[in-house]
Amino acid sequence: MKIYRFAVVLCLFFLSCDKKSKVEKEVEEIPVDIKVERFDKVFFETKPEDLAKVKKQYPFFFPAGNDDSVWLQKMQEPIWREVYTEVQKKYSNFEPVRQQFNSLFQHVKYYFPKTKTPKVITVIGEMDYNAKAIYADSLVIVALELYLGKEHKFYEFPNYLKRNFEEKQIMPDVVSSFVYRNIPAFQEKNLVSQMIFEGKQLYAKDLLLPEYTDAEKMGYTPEEIKWCEENEAYMWRYFMEKEMLYSVDPKLTTRFIAPAPFSKFYLEIDNDSPGRVGAWIGWQIVRSYMKNNNVTLQELLKVNAKEIFEKSKYKPKK
């Protein structure tokens, strides 16, 4: 009997592997050739007297109302010249990242066949961590000054932010931007709706970035993922007992959804908890929903949070 059970488990394992490899083989057959334009190089290597040519070529980077002196100053400012030098040291060869984009958009086209193949444009922005990578239909804009490595001397940010200023985070950031554009805005402002909204984009990373770990998808350390897994039941019970799931208190967004060094239970566990645990639990709810319902990724993004929650059959692991 034990041998029989082992054989069944082994067969299921190989069937699962075959199914996964079948999808990945189909993904690999999708023709994608991402084009990259290094606007960062064009801008900083252009002579001031030729600024008009750059503005004509890339008008969307030069909004009306800004005097040319703004751009000329950035071109010649010593600190921005130094940033440019550091970016070129790190990304003199962008081909490995371009290959990652190819793989990502092969997956995107598999699950979203009508998606256009975008052009990737690299820039040096204004150190705005809310705009590290932006997907905009036919363009992906990547601010390379925010992917120099968490220990870089330029970064005077809290650790919970700068630890994701790594090359490895470019693709997860692009996926987040892509998915947010494809999820209808949630009508209800309660906590569980926000959790599931975040859970959708994290689940998309499961399919679009299959080689990435949960920690990389979430922007956590492995220890933080482990903390969430070990405390999942406790956190869920806390939300239930405090009747938070359907609360529209805006403070709950800050406490459990928004980027932060830790989540705010107002308990001793705050010292060990990572930020955004509400998003992590929303991810588990969406994973449970997809496990228990025959729904495509495109369909998932359109399903309202109430239906997902009710049909997820979510039960936290003890």
Region of 148 on the Ramachandran plot (φ > 0 left; ψ -120 to 50 alpha; else beta)? alpha
| pLDDT tens-digit series, residues 169-182 | 999 999 999 999 99
141 bridge partner residues:
121, 134
- The set of long-range contacts for 127-135, using a CB threshold of 8 Å and a minimum separation of 24, is 127/154, 129/157, 129/161, 129/165, 132/165, 132/169, 132/173, 133/170, 133/173, 133/174, 133/176, 133/177, 134/177, 135/174, 135/177, 135/178, 135/181
What is the CB neighbour count within 10 angstroms for residue 253? 14
DSSP symbol at 308: H
Coil, helix or strand at residue 75: helix
User: What is the structure's pLDDT at 5?
Assistant: 53
User: What is the structure's pLDDT at 235?
Assistant: 97
Identity of the residue numbered 14? F
| pLDDT tens-digit series, residues 281-295 | 999 999 999 999 999
Burial of residue 30 (number of CB atoms within 10 Å: 0-12, 13-18, 19+): middle
User: What is the structure's pLDDT at 226?
Assistant: 97
Whether 145 and 83 have beta carbons less than 8 Å apart is answered as yes
> What residue ranges do the domains of the chain occupy?
36-182, 191-312
In this prediction, the residues of the chain whose per-residue pLDDT falls under 50 are 1-2, 8-10, 12-14
Whether 34 and 122 have beta carbons less than 8 Å apart is answered as no
Q: Give phi and psi for 141, each to the nearest 5.
A: -110, 125
84: Cβ contacts below 8 Å, ≥ 6 apart: 40, 44, 124
What is the CB neighbour count within 10 angstroms for residue 54? 18
Whether 154 and 145 have beta carbons less than 8 Å apart is answered as yes
| pLDDT tens-digit series, residues 120-134 | 999 999 999 999 999
Distance between CA atoms of residues 32 and 248, nearest Å: 43
User: What is the structure's pLDDT at 21?
Assistant: 78
User: What is the structure's pLDDT at 83?
Assistant: 97
Distance between CA atoms of residues 317 and 291, nearest Å: 15
Q: How many CA atoms lie within 13 A of 85 on its CB side?
A: 8
38 bridge partner residues:
122
